[in-house]
Every structure is written in C-alpha cells, then in structure tokens.
Copies of this chain bind each other. A is one copy, B any other.
C-alpha cells in the first residue's frame, strides 16, 4: 500500500505544480485594453462552446452510466458505474482546465512577446506545462485513489473481478468523453480555421487574424477547444487507459502471491509518479541557448525528463519489487533465472523478473524517443519531406497535394518498424506484461509531452491577438517563430499517442482473450487467421478508421462551408465591416460553428461504440457465439492495424503541409504571395482536418472499440451467470 500512497503523493505534487504555476501565469500582465477585449471574446466563445459540448456529452454519459450500472454492476452497488463517471468527469475536467489555462495564457504570451522571444516562450511553455502536469497528475490520482478505495476501504482483492471491471469502466469513461472532445473540438477548430481562411485570405484578400473577418474569433476559440481541451482530454484518456490496462492485465495474467500481485499492480502507478517528478524538473530546463533555437529549448526539457526517468524507474522498480532478479509470476516457473533477456519467448503465464520489466520500460522510453525523432523528421522544416512539398508547390496546387499525400503515405513506415521491434523485444523479455510496461513507461512521460503540445495553441492564439490588437509586427514575428515549432510538437504528441495505442491495444486484446477463456471456458474460439470470421473481423475493424476519417473530413468541409456563407452574409449586410467602421458579429459565427460541431460529432463518436456490439451480434446470429467472439476479437486488431496507418499518415502529412507553407513564408521558393505560396496554402487547408480532426481522433477511437468489447464480454458473462 505504501507504493500507492507514494503514487498518490506524486499526483498531488503535479496538481500543486499546476496551482503554483497557474498563479505565476495569472500574475503576469494581460496587456492593454484592446488585447484584453479580444482575449475576453475568445474566452467567452470557448467557454460557451465547451459548456454546450459538455451538456450534450452529459446526456450520452448519463445513459451509458445507467447501462454500465444495469449490465455490469447488475443493478447492485454501482462500483463500475462510479468508475465510469469518475473517468468521464475527470476527462472532461482536464479538457476544461486545459482550455482555461490556454485562454488566460494566450494574451499574456502576446504581452510577454512584446519584450523578448524568451519571455513569450516561458509564458507559453508554462501554460503548456500546467496542462501537462494536470493531465498526468489527475490521471494518476484517478486510478490510484480508485484502486486504493477498492482494495482498501471496499475490501476487495486486487484481482477480484469487481476491481477489474471497475478499472475498465474507469478507462471507458475517460475514452468516451475524450472521443467526443477530440472530435467535436477538432471539427470546431478546423471548420473555423478553414472557413476563416477561405473567406478571408482567399476571397476578401485580408490577412489571417484580421479583425474585420467575423470568423477570426471563432478561429481562435477553436485553438482552445480543439487543440487544448480536446487534446488534453485525449491524453488523459491515453494515460488512464494505458496504466489501467497494465494493471488489469497483471490481475488477469499473473499468478503469484497476493503481496507480489499488489506490488506488481502498484508498479505502473509509482512509475507514473516518479516520472511526473522528472517531468517537473524537465520543465525548468526549457530555455533558449545561444543559438536561440526554440526546438532546442523544448528538447532540453524533454530529454532531461527522459534521462532522469531512467534511474527513477530503476529505483522505483527495485523499491517496489525488492529483488530485481527474482522470477515473478507463472504457475510454471522457468528453469533458469532470467537476467532480463530470455532466449525464448515468455508465455503470458510464465515468469519474468523485475530487471526484465525495467528493460521493457526502457524499450518504452526508447520508442518514445524514436517516435519523437521520426515525427520531427517528417514535419520539421529542415528535412526532405517538408522541403519536397515546398518544392512541389512551385508547379502548382496539384503537385503540392500529390507530394503531400506521398509524404503522408510514406510517414507510417518507420514508426511501424520501430513499434514492431519494440513489441517483439518487450514480448521476448516478459510477454504481454512486458508490452504493457513498455506502454506504461511511454505514458509516464505524458506530463512533459502534453506540455510541449499545449504550448502550441497558446502561441498560435497569442499571434492572433497580436494581429488583432495591432501590436508591433515584431511581436507577431516572435509568436510566429514560436508557433512554427508548435506544429511539430503537436504532431509529435499525436504520433506518441497512437504509438502507445498500438501497444495498449495489443495488451487489451490479451485481456480480451483471457477474459474470454475465463468467462466462457467451454467455448472453443478460433482466433486463427485461417478462420474466415477472423478475416471478416479484421476487414470490418480495418474499415472503421477509414469511415471515421471520412466522417471527420466531411464534417469539417460542411461546417467550413456554413462559416463561409455566414461571413459572406455579414460582409454583404454590413459594408462597414470591410471599411473598418463597424464591428463584425463575432458571436454569431462562434455560435454557428458551435452548433455545427456538436451536431457533427455525435454519429462518428458512436461508431466505435456500436460497431463492436453490432458485429458480435450479427456474426453470432449467423454462425454462433464462438465465431461471434472470434470476429469481434479480430475487429479489435483490425482497428489498430489500419488505425495506426490512418492516424500517423494524417497527422504527419498534415503537419508537413503546414510547415511547408511556413517554410515558403520564411522566404523560400518565392515567399509570401508567390504562386508557390498559394499552392502551399491549399495544401495547408487540406492538411488541417487531416491533422487536427480525423487523425488524432483515431487514437481514442481505437481504445474505445477495445474497451467496449471487454465490457460487452463482461456484461454477457454476468448476464449468463
């Protein structure tokens, strides 16, 4: 239990960090009256949107909570229902906090950037760090406290079914909210962005963020509700699901003494805890060096966290498990003691050592580093992919898009290979549990990774405010420099989240098969690839990310179209707007996008919830329950197999398009206003819904599909019992 208390303490430190740093940010100057005016409008719009989004989600959430109570708690003590609500509410809360921090920090970043680049960087990064630490801290606290309650005051054993169900329900709550938040926010932000650009830059010929554009406030609101609130909810979900599923898979797969089981289930929590501390230390290392490299400054913080995490994880593991070389778990212990690397694959129920788990976590850290580097290669302005898109812009819109799609299709190759290597290595060392700990170590760095990501939209907004408040052009130049790096860090988080999702989905599939044998011991389910129901399941699973992506893209296109029409109408009905004598009706556009985004998010969000249920019941009706479970299991893997490619290609491709535009704006290939620039703007517009709507929402979608399958299994089993 000490382990859990320490983890809880670390979670509290993260919250404390958020509180203290929040005070620092708020105490900074919020700029002149004009700036505060604009910031207030953005704040108001963001709060209005989030309020309405949460009210809509609350209805879905309440219905699902009742279903969880009926089918999982069998209308008894609502343990799982409470777990679901806890995950849901906290996921929503992190989004809300992230949005609030961001809307307060954006104007202060603009103000700080009036003084220096370092000032802007510090302010924006601090804001990001608050969100980052709160995501990790609240994530850790939610699991640790809930687990403590279940095995402490409630008196259950760590591997009781009720504990497992409750942890899965907690993850489900987080996932369900995050898919709505990611998708709704993603549709909002990109509909506003694309709509504002089309009607402002292209039609009216006014610059981005020009205050005469009625959609400009909506665009800035979008940065906050999509890139901040949506992203924070998504990463909270990833954190909770990864740590939760690691604990669940330990409970399901490892056969050992009850003290050792408790220690093992506490290990993900303490690893999460110590890495929050190393991440906090890392945040203080973010400062510009002599070269004034912003990416370099952010990397200093990131790598500090990673390097410090190595000894921290080692000591945490040793402290929790005691002897690092003792073989843990397994009905059949292996003959020879392991020294970390086993020559033969370790089966799920076989043993592994603490040292082995440590190596698996090192693999997780290495995978994180590799994914960060690969993403930077594909989206940074210094490398071939972005440069090739910029060069292709010279021959027109068409070749820009062709080259962008080529980069997009190419980008999943290296991540897939490093993920495959990591999976095999971790599995060789400690089986599925090893893969789970690899994923846990990846997510332990979430505080730092989210900090890097959340920094981006703050700088983007700061630039918008600088433009609208008519600040010195130098300020805008500084925020633009900060924002360009933000494009890469945003792509990094998405690659990292989807990479960890691949590992987590594998562990979830392990949990699914174990649950299946436990719940239906007499059912011979054939998961072999030669079973055609498995193949059909794989195909239908692989279809989901494509259809989901189609929904997302269509939604953005449609909503952006209505923005264009609204802005055209405002210009027509009120000619004073373009002359600068009359203020546009910003709120009307915000309201329009709000309604469109909420309407559009419902159906695609329910797709991954309903698809597994539908596939199970249809195949069961046609071919019996065993084939129904086989097809459902295959569907889970099909989702991850194609989801990985769809998500990475969309997020990396979109980031590359965006930065190709920025690269041209920096004076290459003719610079701003050239024909190449126009082509690059088209590419950027195409990449927007790719990278900020459809692509990132695939991550929670994959998890939701898997979790729904686990819950369906439990509900069917409890129903049969």
Contacts and interface: CB of A to CB of B under 8 A. Distances in A.
A557 interface: yes
A428 interface: yes
Interface in A498-546: 502, 506, 509-510, 513, 527-530, 532-536, 538-540, 542-543, 546
Contact of A410 (B395, B542, B554): B554
Interface string A199-219: 000100000000000000000
A402 interface: yes
Nearest to A502: B539
A556 interface: yes
B398 A194 contact: yes
Given A510-B530, A529-B529, A534-B529, A553 B405 contact: yes
Given A427-B532, A681-B398, A641 B509 contact: no
Contacts of A448: none
Contacts of A533: 424
Interface stretch (A67-75, A133-141, A413-421, A706-714): A413-421
A540 B392 contact: no
A395 B529 contact: no
Given A198-B396, A530-B527, A622-B424, A401 B682 contact: yes
A686 interface: yes
Contacts of A112: none
Contacts of A540: 416-417, 420
A300 interface: no
A548 to B, nearest CB: 9
Interface size class of A (residues with CB under 8 A): 35 or more
A638 B413 CA distance: 14
Please classify the interface of chain A as helix (H, G, I), strand (E, B), loop, or mixed, using the class held by over half of its residues.
helix
Interface string A377-421: 000000000000000100111110111011111101100110110
A409 B553 contact: yes
A538 B395 contact: no
B682 A398 contact: yes
Given A409-B550, A509-B530, A642-B645, A539 B198 contact: no
A689 B402 contact: yes
Contact of A399 (B401, B506, B539, B685): B685
Interface in A407-450: 407-410, 412-413, 416-417, 419-420, 423-424, 427-428, 432, 435
A396 B202 contact: yes
B536 A420 contact: yes
A637 B536 CA distance: 11
Nearest to A406: B553
A24 interface: no
Contact of A395 (B399, B428, B564, B623): B564
Interface string A621-662: 011000100000110011001101100010000000000000
Given A528-B528, A641-B542, A401 B401 contact: yes
A561 interface: yes
Interface in A106-121: none
Contact of A419 (B539, B681, B682): B539
Interface of A: 194, 197-198, 202, 345, 392, 395-399, 401-403, 405-410, 412-413, 416-417, 419-420, 423-424, 427-428, 432, 435, 502, 506, 509-510, 513, 527-530, 532-536, 538-540, 542-543, 546-547, 549-550, 553-554, 556-557, 560-561, 564, 622-623, 627, 633-634, 637-638, 641-642, 644-645, 649, 681-682, 684-686, 689-690, 694
23 contacts: A197-B398, A202-B396, A392-B557, A398-B681, A399-B560, A402-B685, A403-B557, A406-B550, A409-B549, A410-B547, A413-B546, A416-B539, A416-B542, A419-B539, A423-B532, A424-B622, A427-B532, A509-B530, A529-B634, A542-B644, A542-B645, A543-B645, A546-B649
When A and B form their complex, which 5 residue pairs have the shortest distance between CB atoms, in order from nearest? A398-B685, A410-B550, A406-B553, A409-B550, A397-B682
